[in-house]
Structure 1
């Protein structure tokens, strides 16, 4: 065969007579040989046309007709038989040609074998295209008819070339070729430069040899997958298992992760450079198993060390690696959640030395610091992955609701958060920037999201909002509105309905005060004393979390006249409504002229109760405890703290001296009173009052919870009519948990109450029924 390929190109002899079949095939064989061996020297047009004509003649010869005389169409049958002869002769020729190539291939090895294989493959496939073109008549007639009749192992001439290559040459050399390929790849993995275009050519060759036996017009990747992909993956697995085992033994885990990242990137690049895209998924799986899954245990063990030392980059590296294997990240999420919870508890313990004196800001900042730190870690190292975010949320929910400050239950967190929000939204001397305030409110909502007892926050927040509105101590209406919008977005319209109604009442009150000023000026006669400059807030009973005064009170005459005029005005506008004066929330200012050596009169900011006490000293410099009680009707638990503030500020003197005001004590103005401030605030909340208010708020919360649970139970039973006791308890928890997490014993108590009230009845088999 080698001699045939090296002969000098000569012109072809004339096309033989079509009746001489042997001569015709010899003529064709010479043409095919010329194409197979010397195509690089070109083919002249006479030769090309000669071969094409000889194929046509061969397939249309009349010689085979003699046995079929008298049969219509016998010529076609003859053509059919002769087409088969030509097809078989071509197979015989190709087999002979390819067997010679197999013999030559045995003299080559490794890269030389690859070079030989690629060169011969290129020559062979190019020649096959030419021969396919020259044998078009055979393809169009005989091959097509055979295939249409369902004959097996019949192919067009080009495909026949591929089939013969696969059967004769490929079957003999593919293992040696693949060994050479794998040696080259290993060299590259060790850092050597290789001619990777050779491997690409081998891959393309293997892919081209995939033919669907059922339908020769279609191709498959079976040959490539079995003969290239499978050994390549096995070699890859063995290489990385050996390398990684040795590397882990000699280096740190962090260094190993860097090495694994590099190797994985290299394999991806290898696919792009010279491998078939079909190998992408199995190659990734193989590499992930050898480089990651086989070492996942030691990687996960290292995770806690990285967490403890805030090694964000290394944690990101570990996340990227373990995310490539099934369930690789689950143990990391569990460790992360436990770590964040522990960090949160430690942060609270650090600031909560004395829980009773704990500043709300210090507490909330401690919670936020941990959340911000680990949210940053989730974002940077864990790509904001939802499951890691869920682990962060679970951990935050734990340490926000169950920490050292919340030992007696989870009520303390919402209470302190509400107090911190109150401090932010109050007017302050520093006056926080609007943007800073908005950002801080957003952070507060972060903590609020984790609070389980949202009803506790609501109750404290609404009471504090009420005071800010009544005392006009809000830093900004916009900030107040923004906070309510945030709460509404988090918990819905019902949660903030009363808060919004409180704002509406304050706006209505402003309009009402304008109308009252006009009404009051119409009552004035020439020479009348100027009335007390007062403003009034009308607060709807159902919306404001305020209680009537807990003491009797007789207001001073100066105030009594003013409020009677307002009551008269209000009754004209709204007949039938009853006003209840909330004296404990009223406040005012009084000008003070009595201290000695005073250049400018002082202004005392006082509660209405304090005002009533001070105005008694206009009539007399001294008043006994009993005189004050008689004039004001104040009870001791309100009067004593008010007098105590006056004594502490040295506005009044008490005799005989003692710790506390009480019966038998005499009070006199201190003419030596001095203050650095012109405006002196004496309207200060007493700690005992604050504690009482907190206790009252918690009692209200408990009562509201009982009603909420009862209404939920009735609502569920009304819809279901009958229900098992345990199912009712479970459904009740599901409906209420967005406001607070109800305790099962409390739900059972509520069920008992509803049974007594005959809303429910007991049925057989631990079932409850609804009574309409």
Structure 2
């Protein structure tokens, strides 16, 4: 082992360790290393010097409390500082070597050597340097930090401009598809981070050097590069190619960021790319968006969304364009449907008019057209836009518009309520009604009903129309199944509220109660065998709650046929005994029955006619006489002539009854004769279904009146509820709150709200003040 220098001799100690430091730090021969023996000698020499000097100083001091202040290291620290400065200043680059290559080569060796130096001076670091810094001397650093600061002050800062320039040049070459050394770039850029040392707090991360000296120039050069490239690229390529190019560039920059940029650069680099590659050219892409929708280019739409999704603020204009496009396509689908229907009328020799087409449009075709548009764009939202909430909302808004405001729903811009709820109710009726042609409903489903229902602005109108058609299905027994009916009600209830379906639910309860009454009636009449013979067989009475069912009772002078009177009397008696005080109002126009008609040739089975009660009342008297005048039938039935004419028309048309030659059905003197031998291919014939529904227009008017009355009542209830809570409220605030509370059921008109407010003021629920406020009157 080489003899160590005297431990108290600074000159001898430094002369001994300097050659070793040269090898550790990487002197003229940067590839040369220090062997373990030399390393231990250098370490021991420095250690002995610090220990000996400190011990000597301690023995001279009689005060043990001052021993910590006598730690030695300042002399050798000064020697090391001077050596490092001299070393860094003498570094020179090789011929034909760029500064960047020289910098990375020497920096790599220097940082490795600095780490070893830190270990060599470990004793000084742990005692003397730590003590000096704790005493407030912030200009004293551990050896590794001292080495880095020396490099920064005497090489890095003086050459930073050329270093940054050469790094950016290499990055530009890489962007131009030339091969560069990623490791060289990574090491050089990493040095900006390592040299960002906060001398006041060595443990605190400091990126000031990196941000100011590299990141800022890098971002500026990136902005200039892509601004120029994107503008030039668009002059010779289409938007689709540009989107692919932009996506490629973004991916390249994200890879570059991972390879050699600091995490801090991620957001500013992303913002820079978003601005230069997307925002600056967003208008061009917006214009191309409609073309992509026309061509159903889902893949390219998804790519456009992927780019714009990087900047949330750019999605709103895209969503607005998307929403407007859906509205146009929805209205176009309705116009196509009208044109198809118009062409069909022309083929049948009927002159099509807008009113005729609108009134006679097939609900199934109409609803299917609406749904087809929705499903097309729902697929785009799911596939291309990944169900982004902005585009889901845009789809909902557009569907709500074209479903409620198209040229069939509101012909000629009508201010009347939309017809879509009515047509959806008819679509539901077709689906749920029992049909001979099972294939006619194979492409229909409850899901279709709920899709359109979700977008209805007038959900109360749908409920009223649906309930009107449901009532007929229930009392005529024409529903396909009770389970299907109740499943729709449950879906409507879950989509809206329990209160929304309360009347419909009560209707089902009435039907079940009527079935129980029918069983009781059969049980009671079966007790008297003689009396039971006069009762109509298979009699099915329906006792309905007047306020729940959409039927308007009108007083009638109708005379029930004698054959039905015992059944009628017995039912009334039974019901009054069970429910004392209740009043029964008979809806004769809704009654139906089957009659056996012995009008076939002898030896053949009789016919069975399904008739309305009015038709039964007209036909049954022909058991007594072969012919009657219409005036006599009026007296026998108590019906008005126009009602008889309507009911008798299908019987005359199908030659069950024969009218006198040259007469009309609106003349009281017209004679009607029963045929003696009726000919038909089927034995069971439904004449009730052939009666022209002259009440349809009246039903529609009654439904509209019911809807408007219910809305008026609902608005008043909202106003009173709001004012009861607030006590006093401004006019505009009251209007806004009422609109907000009613929007789930219907779109309340401001004029209707004002009328309701006026009525409540007149009835002294509210009082109006001069300052446009209202007070609630308890």
What is the TM-score normalised by the length of structure 1? 0.92
Distance 1:307 1:413, change over 3 A: same
Give yes or no for contact 2:58–2:67 (8 Å, CA) kept in 1: no
Aligned with 2:394 (options 366, 391, 394): 391
Given the alignment of the two structures, is residue 430 of structure 1 paired with residue 437 of structure 2, yes or no? yes
Identify the residue that residue 382 of structure 1 maps to in structure 2: 385
SS of residue matched to 2:775:
strand
CA distance in 1, matches of 2:221, 2:312: 23
Identify the residue that residue 200 of structure 1 maps to in structure 2: 186
Aligned with 2:77 (options 63, 84, 87): 87
Given the alignment of the two structures, is residue 232 of structure 1 paired with residue 218 of structure 2, yes or no? yes
Identify the residue that residue 48 of structure 2 maps to in structure 1: 57
Distance 1:526 1:167, change over 3 A: closer
Distance 1:167 1:658, change over 3 A: farther
Question: How far has the Cα of 1:530 moved from its partner?
Answer: 7.2
Given the alignment of the two structures, is residue 359 of structure 1 paired with residue 377 of structure 2, yes or no? no
Give yes or no for contact 1:340–1:392 (8 Å, CA) kept in 2: yes
Query: In terms of mean alpha carbon deviation, does 260-269 or 173-182 score higher?
Result: 173-182
Distance 1:550 1:347, change over 3 A: farther
CA distance in 2, matches of 1:631, 1:574: 32
Give yes or no for contact 1:605–1:683 (8 Å, CA) kept in 2: yes
After superposition, where does 1:113-262 map in structure 2 within 5 Å? 113-262=99-248
Residue-by-residue CA offset, 1:466-488 (whole Å, 9 max, x unaligned): 11111111112222112111211
Question: How far has the Cα of 1:83 moved from its partner?
Answer: 0.8
Residue-by-residue CA offset, 1:147-175 (whole Å, 9 max, x unaligned): 11121122211222222122222223443
Give yes or no for contact 2:10–2:76 (8 Å, CA) kept in 1: no
Give yes or no for contact 1:462–1:545 (8 Å, CA) kept in 2: yes
CA distance in 2, matches of 1:633, 1:578: 22
After superposition, where does 1:228-307 map in structure 2 within 5 Å? 228-307=214-293
Residue-by-residue CA offset, 1:430-450 (whole Å, 9 max, x unaligned): 33699965xx22222221222
Given the alignment of the two structures, is residue 717 of structure 1 paired with residue 723 of structure 2, yes or no? yes
Identify the residue that residue 691 of structure 1 maps to in structure 2: 697
Give yes or no for contact 2:534–2:567 (8 Å, CA) kept in 1: no
Query: In terms of mean alpha carbon deviation, does 494-503 or 550-559 score higher?
Result: 550-559
Identify the residue that residue 4 of structure 1 maps to in structure 2: none
CA distance in 1, matches of 2:491, 2:756: 32
CA distance in 2, matches of 1:262, 1:591: 83
Give yes or no for contact 2:720–2:765 (8 Å, CA) kept in 1: yes
Give yes or no for contact 2:152–2:195 (8 Å, CA) kept in 1: yes
Distance 1:604 1:149, change over 3 A: same
Question: How far has the Cα of 1:74 moved from its partner?
Answer: 10
Give yes or no for contact 2:23–2:32 (8 Å, CA) kept in 1: no
Aligned with 2:542 (options 534, 537, 542): 537
Distance 1:767 1:24, change over 3 A: closer
What is the TM-score normalised by the length of structure 2? 0.91
Query: In terms of mean alpha carbon deviation, does 137-146 or 314-323 score higher?
Result: 314-323
CA distance in 2, matches of 1:66, 1:289: 67
Aligned with 1:32 (options 10, 17, 21): 21
Give yes or no for contact 1:640–1:662 (8 Å, CA) kept in 2: no
SS of residue matched to 2:314:
coil
CA distance in 1, matches of 2:58, 2:386: 82
Unaligned runs of 5+ in 2: 339-353
CA distance in 1, matches of 2:525, 2:248: 86
Query: In terms of mean alpha carbon deviation, does 540-549 or 61-70 score higher?
Result: 61-70
Aligned with 2:373 (options 366, 370, 373): 370
Distance 1:532 1:623, change over 3 A: farther
Question: How far has the Cα of 1:497 moved from its partner?
Answer: 0.7
Distance 1:77 1:748, change over 3 A: closer
Distance 1:311 1:47, change over 3 A: closer
Query: In terms of mean alpha carbon deviation, does 360-369 or 530-539 score higher?
Result: 530-539
Question: How far has the Cα of 1:658 moved from its partner?
Answer: 3.8
Given the alignment of the two structures, is residue 340 of structure 1 paired with residue 326 of structure 2, yes or no? yes
Give yes or no for contact 2:101–2:184 (8 Å, CA) kept in 1: yes
CA distance in 1, matches of 2:545, 2:739: 32
CA distance in 1, matches of 2:228, 2:596: 92
CA distance in 2, matches of 1:154, 1:741: 77
Question: How far has the Cα of 1:263 moved from its partner?
Answer: 0.9
After superposition, the CA RMSD in angstroms is 2.7
CA distance in 1, matches of 2:496, 2:172: 61
Give yes or no for contact 1:94–1:164 (8 Å, CA) kept in 2: yes
CA distance in 2, matches of 1:206, 1:526: 111
Aligned with 2:638 (options 623, 633, 637): 633
Given the alignment of the two structures, is residue 48 of structure 1 paired with residue 45 of structure 2, yes or no? no
CA distance in 2, matches of 1:188, 1:365: 56
Distance 1:434 1:25, change over 3 A: farther
Question: How far has the Cα of 1:518 moved from its partner?
Answer: 1.8
Give yes or no for contact 1:64–1:75 (8 Å, CA) kept in 2: no
Aligned with 1:452 (options 454, 457, 462): 457
Distance 1:527 1:303, change over 3 A: closer
Distance 1:63 1:430, change over 3 A: closer
Identify the residue that residue 347 of structure 2 maps to in structure 1: none
Question: How far has the Cα of 1:92 moved from its partner?
Answer: 0.8
Identify the residue that residue 6 of structure 1 maps to in structure 2: none
Aligned with 1:319 (options 270, 292, 305): 305
CA distance in 2, matches of 1:485, 1:500: 10
Question: How far has the Cα of 1:40 moved from its partner?
Answer: 6.0
Distance 1:635 1:516, change over 3 A: same
Question: How far has the Cα of 1:71 moved from its partner?
Answer: 6.0
CA distance in 1, matches of 2:532, 2:454: 61
CA distance in 1, matches of 2:136, 2:602: 126
Question: How far has the Cα of 1:195 moved from its partner?
Answer: 2.8
SS of residue matched to 1:298:
helix
Distance 1:197 1:556, change over 3 A: same
CA distance in 2, matches of 1:527, 1:388: 68
Give yes or no for contact 2:17–2:45 (8 Å, CA) kept in 1: yes
Distance 1:41 1:715, change over 3 A: closer
Residue-by-residue CA offset, 1:236-295 (whole Å, 9 max, x unaligned): 222211211111111112211111111111111222333333322111111111111221
Question: How far has the Cα of 1:565 moved from its partner?
Answer: 2.0
Aligned with 2:472 (options 437, 445, 467): 467
Identify the residue that residue 448 of structure 2 maps to in structure 1: 443
After superposition, where does 1:561-710 map in structure 2 within 5 Å? 561-596=566-601, 599-684=604-689, 685-710=691-716
CA distance in 2, matches of 1:307, 1:178: 46
Identify the residue that residue 3 of structure 1 maps to in structure 2: none
Query: In terms of mean alpha carbon deviation, does 320-329 or 384-393 score higher?
Result: 320-329
Question: How far has the Cα of 1:116 moved from its partner?
Answer: 3.5
CA distance in 2, matches of 1:50, 1:722: 93
